[in-house]
Amino acid sequence: MKRKILGSILIGLCCASKNSGQSIKLPGVFAEVEQQMHVMLAEVPKAKAARSEATAVTPGSEGQELVSARTLDSGKLKLVSSRDWTSGFLAGELWFLYDYTGNPEWRRDAEQYTAKMEREKTNGGTHDMGFKVYCSFGNGYRLTKDPHYKDVIIQSAKTLATRFNPTAGVIKSWDNHTKWKYPVIIDNMMNLELLFEATKLSGDSSFYKIAVSHANTTMKNHFRSDFSSFHVVDYDTATGTVLQKTTHQGYSDASAWSRGQAWGLYGFTMCYRFTRDKRYLQQAEKIAVFITGHKNFPKDFVPYYDYNDPAIPNVPKDASAAAVIASALYELSLYSKNGVAYTKTADAILQSLTNNYRSPVGQNKGFILLHSTGSKPSNSEVDVPLAYADYYYLEALLRSERLKKK
């Protein structure tokens, strides 16, 4: 097994070296990102005035204040309320710009968009607290140490913890679904960062224990023998047994939905950061082998929306999955003996996204990346810009810069 993993890594390293080309000129890229963000901040009030609301929104969002951009629909900017799982990404992008530039104007904008997310700290009807609160308030606290931001993070963790079922050992993802009894999606790994951080900030170990339980149970039940993951695992809360394993956004129940693989890679890498449990590191390494070593992993390093759609290559790409993978690989490179290979692959992904998937400056209402896919099975948000693609692209750029400074 170790020889197979090493072989896959070496193949990926070779391909990455051939495709990475010249390194990205980060100052120039961020200068263009700043121009795009000025466009975005000018377009959001216009879309808000027109009540241009995204159609694929979280239930319960209807009629609420629109606070953030999610995507484009027929060229029109679509906004969401704070209840939507994508609502915290724009604030996070603004914090990233402040992080890189030190410009107080970006901090002011970030604070304004972050403040719009505070109402979510007591919203117990969602598992997406990490995406919504940690991407906004978490980045804000990291950069400012504002004590109010700390309080919001801790309260949000308390709210998220109410969705934990100790018998099943996991945090429930979606409510009000007839297809599943107690669904848990692989995306939920991303929300554990909020819980781990809340333990660091509060000293309350209950958040940490919930996160570890969720990660362990997900590692046991979500993954196949090749370390690809199912999208949705449904639990019986009375016994903790698995009822079914399905998909919601992938090609089929048995397929590997690309962004789901990316969430798993990022999630277990992050879990290792907080716990130093080698099982999480090994899990992340094996997921990385699946992602980059699969026969359908494209030569341009940007995955198709699913690894197993038989219509490949005539299916949509997902730039958002690529951005998440790149960001995760940069962090994984800090912990793994395979760090050089991971960095080379992440560099190749960023090079591809930067050269071939970015919007021209001044276009697409200020979005940065094009060609992402939200949900191909429901024909929702296919081949469009998505807020979370931009967020993880910027995070990956910042992580690449920090690695180069080490």
Helices (H), 74-191: 89-101, 104-115, 129, 139-144, 147-161
Alpha-carbon Rg for the chain in angstroms: 20
CB 107 within 8 A of CB 98: yes
d(CA 402, CA 400): 6
What is d(CA 43, CA 363) in angstroms, rounded to the nearest whole number?
11
Active-site residue (options: 73, 109, 151, 187): 187
Our answer to whether residue 128 is catalytic in this structure is yes
User: Which of 84, 109, 128, 309 does the annotation list as catalytic?
Assistant: 128
Dist CA 112 CA 127 (whole Å) = 24
Beta carbons of 320 and 388 less than 8 angstroms apart: yes
Rounded CA-CA distance 356/371 in Å is: 10
Q: Are 269 and 291 spatial neighbours (Cβ–Cβ below 8 Å)?
A: no
Q: Name the nearest CA neighbour of 117 among 98, 144, 135, 94.
A: 135
The CA distance from 120 to 67, in Å, is 12
CB environment 359-370: b (16+ within 10 A), e (fewer) = beeeebbbbbbb
Torsion of CA 330, 335, 338, 339, to 10 degrees: 40
> Distance (Å, rounded) from C-alpha 366 to C-alpha 385?
10
CB distance 183 to 172 below 8 Å: yes
Where do runs of H (alpha helix) occur along 188-333?
192-202, 205-221, 258-275, 278-293, 319-333
Q: Residue 109 corresponds to which amino acid?
A: D
Judge whether 187 counts as a catalytic residue: yes
Which active-site residues does the annotation give? 128, 187
